[in-house]
Amino acid sequence: MKVLICDATAPAALEAMSAAGIEVVNKPDVTPDELMEMLPDYHGMVVRSRTKVRAPLIDVATNLKVIVRGGVGLDNIDVEYAQSKGITVLNTPAASTDSVAELTVGYVFALARRIPQMTASMKAGKWEKKAFKGSELAGKTLGLVGAGRIGRAVAHRASALGMTAIAYDPYVQAAEGIEMVTLDEVFSQADYISLHVPNTPETRNIIDAKAIAKIKDGVRIINCGRGGTVDEDALYDAILAGKVAGAALDVYAEEPNKGHKLYSLDRVIGSPHVGAATGEAQGRVGAEVAEKIIGFFRDK
């Protein structure tokens, strides 16, 4: 069996697949045009968030049996179409949980104390002690949109800081340490709102201008989940108007995100979709990718 590695994958995972008798071709910088030419020769492919697997690519992949997404979200894959062609689609949902949860909590701290802005001020040779009065996290309410693995991991960490966690998730009835509430209650009660949902028709722009009108004045918004779940133009307007006190973004409606007007605002901080980009998470993702590829072809 022949597997194409389309995005960066831990070397140990490549070695494990090769040791299992799978022919592994590592092309982590493969372009969309190259994929169209190469993929018909392969039985499996491994992707991260960079590679898009849409219907035209699936149509030419006449020998493809399995797609493994290293990570959680499957929005870069036309899953139902692939399945209609007899292609199995797998992901690694647990491997990056801790890394994404830790980045989220890091952003909560950074927003509360404006750490990046203070650093920039110091690097500019300033001593603006009176300009950076922060706020404590103890006693504040963290509102989660999504209470899956990562949302629950964020809530667990937040509880150690003395925060109260509430969450909206129509697919979760109860979660330890979290009060399940309606979406409107998250908007009206939360001091911090953190999104941990996929980008689906149900969640697309779940925070838009109408939602922002319902939120508590001075809220801070964090999105380390999926781009497209926050209306970025509406968020820009809300920060400019002072309705939203700050935002931290790791994911965007369009990636790579270069020069969005949000980053003209001092109250916005962010990163280039690095939630799972830790050595530990990458190792776990790679191990799970290898396990799923090996298991799939062994069972066949």
Domain ranges of the chain: 2-93+279-299, 97-270
Which of 114, 226, 232, 288 is catalytic? The answer is: 226
Are the C-beta atoms of 179 and 147 separated by less than 8 Å?
no
For residue 273, indicate whether it is catalytic: yes
CA distance 218 to 190: 10
Q: What is each CA distance from 287 to 246, 249, 290, 294, in whole angstroms?
A: 37, 28, 5, 11
Average pLDDT across the chain, whole number: 95
Q: Is the pLDDT of residue 176 over 90?
A: yes
Q: Is the pLDDT of residue 222 over 90?
A: yes
Are the C-beta atoms of 128 and 121 separated by less than 8 Å?
yes
For residues 166-185, average pLDDT: 97
For residue 260, indicate whether it is catalytic: no
Instruction: Please determine whether the domains at 2-93+279-299 and 97-270 fall in the same fold group of CATH.
Output: yes
For residues 91-119, average pLDDT: 96
Which of 102, 179, 185, 255 is catalytic? The answer is: 255
To the question of pTM greater than 0.85 for the whole model, the response is: yes
Q: What is each CA distance from 224 to 132, 134, 154, 229, in whole angstroms?
A: 25, 22, 11, 10
CA distance 21 to 61: 22
Q: Is the CATH number of domain 97-270 3.30.1360.40?
A: no
Q: Give the model confidence (pLDDT) of 223-244 as tens digits.
A: 999 999 999 999 999 999 999 9
Q: Is the pLDDT of residue 300 over 80?
A: no
The predicted pLDDT at position 49 comes to 85
Which of 43, 48, 69, 273 is catalytic? The answer is: 273
Identify the band that residue 75 occupies on the pLDDT scale cut at 50, 70 and 90.
Answer: confident
The predicted pLDDT at position 94 comes to 86
CATH number given to 2-93+279-299: 3.40.50.720
Q: What are phi and psi of 13, to 5 degrees?
A: -70, -40
For residues 278-296, average pLDDT: 94
